[in-house]
Amino acid sequence: MAPVRTTCPYCGVGCGVLVTPDGKGGAAVKGDPDHPANFGRLCSKGSALGETLGLEDRLLAPRVHGAEASWDTALDLIATRLRETIAAHGPDAVGIYCSGQILTEDYYVANKLVKGFLGTGNLDTNSRLCMSSAVAGHRRAFGTDTVPGTYEDLEEADTLVLVGSNLAWCHPVLYQRIAAAKAARPEMRVVVIDPRRTATCDLADLHLRLRPDTDAALFNGLLARIEAQGAIDTDYVARHVSGFFEAVAAARVWGRERVAETCGISFADLSAFYRLWIGRERVVTVFSQGVNQSGGGTDKVNAIINCHLATGRIGRPGMGPFSVTGQPNAMGGREVGGLANMLAAHLDLEDPAHRAAVAGFWNAPAMVERPGLKAVDLFEACGAGQIRFLWILSTNPVVSLPDADRVAAAIRGCDFVVVSDTNAATDTMQLAHVQLPAAGWGEKSGTVTNSERRISRQRSFLMAPGAAKPDWWALAEVARRMGWAEAFPYESAADIFREHAALSRLAAGLGRDFDIGALAEIDDEGYHRLEPVQWPVGGPARFFAEGGFFTGDRRGRMLAITPPARDTAPGLKLNTGRVRDHWHTMTRTGKSARLSQHIAEPFAEIHPKDAAARGIRAADLVRVSSPRGAVIVRALVTERTAEGALFVPIHWTGQAASAGRVGTLIPAVTDPVSGQPALKAGRAEAERFEAAWHGFAVSAEKPALTGADGYWVLARGEGCWRTEMAGTTTPADWDAFVRTMFGAEDAEIASIIDTKRGLARFALLREGRVIAALFTAREPVEVSRAHVVGAFGSGDAGGLLAGRPGAAQPDAGPVVCVCFNVGVNTILDAITSGAARTVSEIGEVLSAGTNCGSCRPELNALLASVPADVAAE
Ligand code: SF4
């Protein structure tokens, strides 16, 4: 059987995937060599997609007030409550919150229902958290939300600048493309601008470790330097740009000394960056969450775009500002108006002519007239009792939004909450009155758009399990029950796509950039076979080389940017972000044992000086707290994070950890233009979490931890669950404790107790087989996790309780390469023995880094960590 061509559901790179179903609900996955986003590459997350298809934790039928129900019952109730809410409180008492995970067709129907038929603008999305500052910056500068360039530009640039963007972990295939381009053209220069020393810095010729939120000052200074050096493209500016003089006047006060002092970087490094940017015409400035997730994110975006407009370096090969989106379909959502302040097809909600055109196209009875509430405000309004009906699709705001406990309380207090998701047990799903089973990746069909405006098909290759249905179907069914059957007649995703394409043709006629009108008459077969295609379909690959902006005067706009005052609030600056092998709230990646091998526990990166000042040692548990909440995570003492700062990952939920939701710490501060929350700019303190005991467990069944005292984190191991834990009081009866935790009253217990050293090890056996084991100690448990998990799988009870390999067996150490299961000790051995002196040689000797390549930055870091004289011996 020929593999099914589909698209990875994780990041905005939008890699093509070839899937071969195994006929038993699973599938083999590999990169699509013909997809222009990845040309066959996949990162660790994409490679492990086949391991995430299991039905455990799936919601398989609608549930109403906790009881299983039919779709008819659930949908009738939703329609009734919608009608009642609007009748009693008006349409603005309704809110729909969706996700960059859903497909364009789902988004299109949600937007049409809310903005054309319910008559409110209250449709927002978790993409607000990801890139809405980029959208706002694009709209201010270009008149519409246009990404001017393509991925090739990143490869063709002579100077590539990555601002607030850890591509190596967050967009790994794009990172690999850049790494390959740099290897082929060693004269290419890469500058990373980031307060953290991330894995991406491995590729950097220059790393500017600037203070958080000083990017606008840096790029204002660049604009001033561009002018001072006579590098303005006066012809381009004269013909195509407005606002030049005001922007330059605002920038001129940012001389290099002031910028260097403000950003906390050396004058020499700053000057080197400006030379690399100004002195080489082919410059691409890539930006993502480090720019967007800020109280001044939109200004940062425009400060970057200003420099490209002033030099005319936009829309030509190897030149331009480039926003990379975090989510697989953030761009598709933008195209259909999936943000509360957008209309559809890049038409402006504020423009009466645009609204009238869409109302006519939809035959809409209640066309929205003003923008709705953006994500943070939407949940604020919920808490204030203004939103009475809330429908959340494919996202987990109880984890991902700032001030997350307040968000949970707001949802809990809402009159009527619907949650559509694949997963039965997310933190948000638990608060729903009606739970709807959504079809997931591989089960549903539609399109997504990646960061370079390329639309790709997601194709189904599995039957949707149980009663799971695509989101567009559920939305359209509710619309029909509301009396709008004629406007929502869709029988397939293809029907919706055709309408979406036809609307884009109308929008193009009104002078907008987004145009896929050539696909409006595509038949079902053509839709099924649709090849990845960039928009505007049939148009140029890039925008703005010759002007043609989408503003009233067709000129691009430079803006006068005033950088914010320095943040001198007390406490450690709290940065948040992703880890290499997990995605969002782990509802998918958490199913793969392989993906939990790299990092299985939430952590706080803390600088050695900050750690020492607080008595925190490596691997201690730390309580990180702010006035809003606290998390308990493992201390990672490292100079990767600057002094005075912390970094905590975003992925851990109430399902995976006792206290790992970093969103609970972050204030709900948003960018005033975009409404994007400043998720990297909280303040927090860190202190040792004083535990009476620490533990590590493996078990065949999920342990019962919900009421555990202290700390726990659950992760999948190969054929088992693995749990890190700690308690504030030592159990009086360890045997009873382990029996209760592992639900094994009848199990035999073998134990090794070393009272003097405070160590205890327990194995629970049933019919001679180990069903669980717990290692405890007064300090963080020092056993080889990889060995214990392996010994558990092989049934080697003696080897298991030993906690590490015998003398004859080397300890591979924590896994670095998840594709080939290669541990850090194995790699270091190869380096120190001289068997491998480069990443390629590590690949030849150990295979590490030769499949998805996601670990190559870490291989490079390991090579760099071994002094040359040691490696040479
Ligand atoms: Fe998926 Fe990785 Fe490609 Fe992103 S880079 S789309 S996560 S395979």
Point out the ligand 1 atom lying closest to the alpha carbon of residue 583: 7
For 19-48, how does the pLDDT look when each residue is reduced to its tens digit (9 = 90+)?
999 999 899 999 999 999 999 999 999 999
CB-CB neighbours of 733 under 10 Å: 9
Please indicate whether residue 171, judged by its CB atom, sits closer than 6 Å to ligand 1.
yes
Q: What spacing in Å lies between the alpha carbon of 171 and ligand 1's midpoint? A: 6
Closest among 410, 418, 447, 445 to 113, alpha carbons compared: 418
Answer whether 704's CB lies under 8 Å from 714's CB: no
Answer whether 581's CB lies under 8 Å from 587's CB: no
Of all protein residues, whose CA lies closest to atom 3 belonging to ligand 1?
Answer: 15
Looking at residue 866, its pLDDT comes to 84
pLDDT above 70 for 807: no
- What is the rounded average pLDDT for all residues in the chain? 94
Q: What spacing in Å lies between the alpha carbon of 458 and ligand 1's midpoint? A: 14
pLDDT above 90 for 696: yes
Please indicate whether residue 8, judged by its CB atom, sits closer than 6 Å to ligand 1.
yes
How do strand 283-287 and strand 159-163 relate by DSSP bridges? Answer: parallel
Q: Which long-range contacts does 622-625 make (Cβ < 8 Å, 24+ apart)?
A: 622/686, 622/687, 622/688, 622/689, 623/686, 623/687, 623/688, 623/689, 624/574, 624/648, 624/662, 624/665, 624/684, 624/685, 624/686, 625/665, 625/684, 625/685, 625/686, 625/687
The two counts, helices (H) then strands (E), for the chain are: 31, 34
CA dist 807 and 825 (Å) reads 15
Least confidently predicted of 204-218, 245-259, 764-778: 764-778
For 49-95, how does the pLDDT look when each residue is reduced to its tens digit (9 = 90+)?
999 999 999 999 999 999 999 999 999 999 999 999 999 999 999 99
pLDDT band for position 708 (cuts 50, 70, 90)? low
Q: What spacing in Å lies between the alpha carbon of 628 and ligand 1's midpoint? A: 34
Of all protein residues, whose CA lies closest to atom 4 belonging to ligand 1?
Answer: 11
Of all protein residues, whose CA lies closest to atom 2 belonging to ligand 1?
Answer: 43
- Which stretches within 25-145 are classed as H helix? 44-47, 71-89, 104-112, 128-142
pLDDT above 60 for 447: yes
Closest among 655, 634, 551 to 305, alpha carbons compared: 551
Using most ligand atoms within 8 A of CB, pick from 29, 38, 592, 819 the residue to mutate for ligand 1.
38
Please indicate whether residue 300, judged by its CB atom, sits closer than 6 Å to ligand 1.
no
Q: What spacing in Å lies between the alpha carbon of 286 and ligand 1's midpoint? A: 17
Q: What spacing in Å lies between the alpha carbon of 531 and ligand 1's midpoint? A: 18
Please indicate whether residue 6, judged by its CB atom, sits closer than 6 Å to ligand 1.
no
Looking at residue 431, its pLDDT comes to 98
Q: DSSP of 714-746, one letter per residue?
A: EEEETTEEEEEEEESS--S-HHHHHHHHTT-TT
Q: What spacing in Å lies between the alpha carbon of 335 and ligand 1's midpoint? A: 21
For 114-137, how does the pLDDT look when each residue is reduced to its tens digit (9 = 90+)?
999 999 999 999 999 999 999 999
For 392-408, how does the pLDDT look when each residue is reduced to its tens digit (9 = 90+)?
999 999 999 999 999 99
Please indicate whether residue 173, judged by its CB atom, sits closer than 6 Å to ligand 1.
yes
Please indicate whether residue 13, judged by its CB atom, sits closer than 6 Å to ligand 1.
yes
Q: Which tokens in the block code for residue 800?
A: 């298991």
Looking at residue 801, its pLDDT comes to 83
What is the value of pTM for the model shown? 0.94
User: Residues 238-252: what's their mean pLDDT?
Assistant: 98
Q: What spacing in Å lies between the alpha carbon of 530 and ligand 1's midpoint? A: 20
Looking at residue 869, its pLDDT comes to 66
User: Residues 249-264: what's their mean pLDDT?
Assistant: 98
Please indicate whether residue 15, judged by its CB atom, sits closer than 6 Å to ligand 1.
yes
Answer whether 31's CB lies under 8 Å from 60's CB: no
Please indicate whether residue 148, judged by its CB atom, sits closer than 6 Å to ligand 1.
no
pLDDT band for position 808 (cuts 50, 70, 90)? low
For 731-779, how does the pLDDT look when each residue is reduced to its tens digit (9 = 90+)?
989 999 999 999 989 899 988 888 888 899 999 999 888 999 999 999 9
CB-CB neighbours of 708 under 10 Å: 17
Cross-strand pairs, 534:
454
Please indicate whether residue 826, judged by its CB atom, sits closer than 6 Å to ligand 1.
no
Look up tokens 């729909």; give the residue.
96
Q: What spacing in Å lies between the alpha carbon of 771 and ligand 1's midpoint? A: 36
Share of the chain above pLDDT 70, in %: 99
pLDDT band for position 873 (cuts 50, 70, 90)? very low
Q: What spacing in Å lies between the alpha carbon of 26 and ligand 1's midpoint? A: 19
How do strand 94-98 and strand 123-125 relate by DSSP bridges? Answer: parallel
Which amino acid does the sequence have at 421? D
Q: What spacing in Å lies between the alpha carbon of 176 and ligand 1's midpoint? A: 11
Least confidently predicted of 158-167, 724-733, 784-793: 784-793
Share of the chain above pLDDT 90, in %: 85
pLDDT band for position 145 (cuts 50, 70, 90)? very high
Closest among 744, 703, 740, 745 to 725, alpha carbons compared: 703
Looking at residue 351, its pLDDT comes to 96
Q: What spacing in Å lies between the alpha carbon of 518 and ligand 1's midpoint? A: 28
Looking at residue 800, its pLDDT comes to 85
For 15-24, how does the pLDDT look when each residue is reduced to its tens digit (9 = 90+)?
999 999 999 9
Point out the ligand 1 atom lying closest to the alpha carbon of residue 854: 2
pLDDT above 70 for 872: no
Q: Residue 208: what are its φ and ψ, rounded to 5°? A: -95, 110
For 302-344, how does the pLDDT look when each residue is reduced to its tens digit (9 = 90+)?
999 999 999 999 999 999 999 999 888 999 999 999 999 999 9
For 604-620, how does the pLDDT look when each residue is reduced to its tens digit (9 = 90+)?
999 999 999 999 999 99
Looking at residue 871, its pLDDT comes to 60
Q: What spacing in Å lies between the alpha carbon of 793 and ligand 1's midpoint? A: 30
Using most ligand atoms within 8 A of CB, pick from 13, 29, 454 the residue to mutate for ligand 1.
13
For 555-604, how does the pLDDT look when each residue is reduced to its tens digit (9 = 90+)?
999 999 999 999 999 999 999 999 999 999 999 999 999 998 889 999 99
Please indicate whether residue 448, judged by its CB atom, sits closer than 6 Å to ligand 1.
no
Q: What spacing in Å lies between the alpha carbon of 718 and ligand 1's midpoint? A: 23
Closest among 662, 835, 857, 872 to 179, alpha carbons compared: 857
Answer whether 268's CB lies under 8 Å from 219's CB: no
